[in-house]
């Protein structure tokens, strides 16, 4: 009698995600947040290959044309609180996530990587206080827009995406830590599934780039989410990856204080947004 092979034992679908890992020094909001972003892709693929970029940590002389693994000697500014690794794999019932750190690529190398999706994370840096390494990130995001690669910018990534495309970012007088209702101004298959967002930021997008649709606002934030019209490109000021478990562990690690912990007690539905974004990416066939 013929027995069908278990597809989970013989993976045949892989999706490749390029992730700007800009909060790497925070184990939970960095690596942990990355895993929250990546896990929904396992709903449609057996394997998620994630190429991590950390240009904020790289030495300028470490850059080279081509796709090369990132070595510890390439990142003299690495925060020793979070151990460095070049490759790492996490196994889940639905499949596995394989993460590889690579040197910041040129636009030509980036094209050769042929990512299925791009995510730009939050950061402790500020778009309103521009640093040279942000130029390379902005260039790659502009290329992703031209190629219509599904792209999600989160918090800093939302601001960087807006700035890279000609929008404006301004620093507010006060910092905001809040879980807030979202007011939707346009229907959207990704942001529209999320009704409550967790915000922690001081920079704000104050002018959208040309061709951007205003999707959502919050009480303190005029442009809480946008999408480029006709493109699979989104920016969200809030943190859909900041699950309750990640928040509580961040507090235990001393990465957030008690005031921040209390500000983030209300539940939000960012996981629905991450699942909706992952569904915009066709299952990999590699």
Based on the residue annotation, tell me whether 147 is a catalytic residue of this protein: no
pLDDT tens readout for residues 111-128: 889 999 999 999 999 999
Backbone angles phi, psi at 63, to 5 degrees: -70, 145
At 208-251, the pLDDT tens digits run 999 999 999 999 999 999 999 999 999 999 999 999 999 999 99
Indicate whether 9 pLDDT > 60: no
Confidence of residue 13 (pLDDT cuts 50, 70, 90): confident
pLDDT of residue 283: 76
CB 272 within 8 A of CB 193: yes
Q: Is the pLDDT of residue 7 over 50?
A: no
Is 241 among the catalytic positions? Answer: yes
Sorted by sequence, the CB contacts under 8 Å of residue 1 that are 6+ apart come out as none
- Catalytic-role residue among 31, 201, 204, 239: 239
What single-letter DSSP state applies at residue 69? Answer: B
pLDDT by residue (tens digit) across 156-195?
999 999 999 999 999 999 999 999 999 999 999 999 999 9
User: Strand 212-218's sheet: what is its strand order?
Assistant: 87-92, 95-101, 47-53, 14-20, 117-120, 151-154, 233-236, 221-228, 212-218, 183-184
221 is catalytic: no
Of 137, 204, 241, 268, catalytic = 241
Q: Which range, 63-67, 110-114, 198-202, has the best average confidence (pLDDT)?
A: 198-202
Q: What is the mean pLDDT of residues 62-70?
A: 77
Chain Cα centroid distance, residue 46: 20
Residue 61 is predicted with a pLDDT of 72
Say whether domain 14-278 belongs to CATH 3.40.10.10: no
Mean pLDDT of the chain: 92
pLDDT of 200: 96
Give the residue extent of every domain in the chain. Answer: 14-278
Q: Which of 50, 120, 137, 155 is catalytic?
A: 155
The percent of residues in the chain predicted with pLDDT above 90, rounded, is 79
């Amino acid at each position: 009698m013929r027995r069908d092979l278990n597809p989970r034992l013989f993976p045949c679908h892989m999706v490749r995600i390029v992730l700007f890992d800009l909060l790497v020094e925070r184990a939970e909001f960095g690596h942990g947040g990355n895993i929250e972003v990546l896990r929904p892709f396992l709903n449609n693929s057996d394997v998620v290959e994630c190429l991590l970029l950390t240009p904020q940590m790289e030495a300028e002389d470490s850059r080279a044309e081509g796709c090369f693994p990132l070595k510890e000697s390439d990142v003299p500014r690495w925060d020793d609180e979070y151990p460095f690794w070049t490759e790492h794999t996490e196994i889940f019932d639905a499949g596995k996530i394989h993460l590889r750190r690579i040197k910041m690529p040129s636009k030509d190398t980036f094209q050769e990587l042929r990512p299925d999706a791009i995510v730009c994370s939050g950061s402790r840096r500020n778009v309103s206080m521009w640093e040279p390494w942000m130029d390379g990130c902005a260039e790659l995001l502009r290329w992703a827009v031209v190629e219509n690669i599904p792209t999600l910018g989160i918090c800093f990534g939302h601001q960087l995406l807006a700035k890279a495309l000609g929008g404006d970012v301004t620093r507010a007088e006060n910092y905001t830590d809040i879980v807030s209702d979202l007011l939707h101004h346009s229907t959207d298959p990704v942001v529209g599934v999320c009704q409550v967002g967790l915000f922690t930021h001081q920079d704000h997008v104050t002018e959208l780039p040309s061709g951007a649709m205003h999707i959502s606002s919050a009480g303190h934030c005029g442009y809480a989410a946008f999408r480029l019209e006709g493109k699979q490109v989104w920016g969200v000021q809030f943190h859909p990856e900041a699950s309750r478990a990640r928040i509580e562990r961040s507090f235990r690690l001393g990465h957030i204080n008690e005031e921040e912990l209390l500000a983030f007690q209300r539940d939000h539905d960012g996981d629905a947004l991450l699942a909706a974004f992952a569904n915009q990416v066709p299952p990999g066939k590699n």
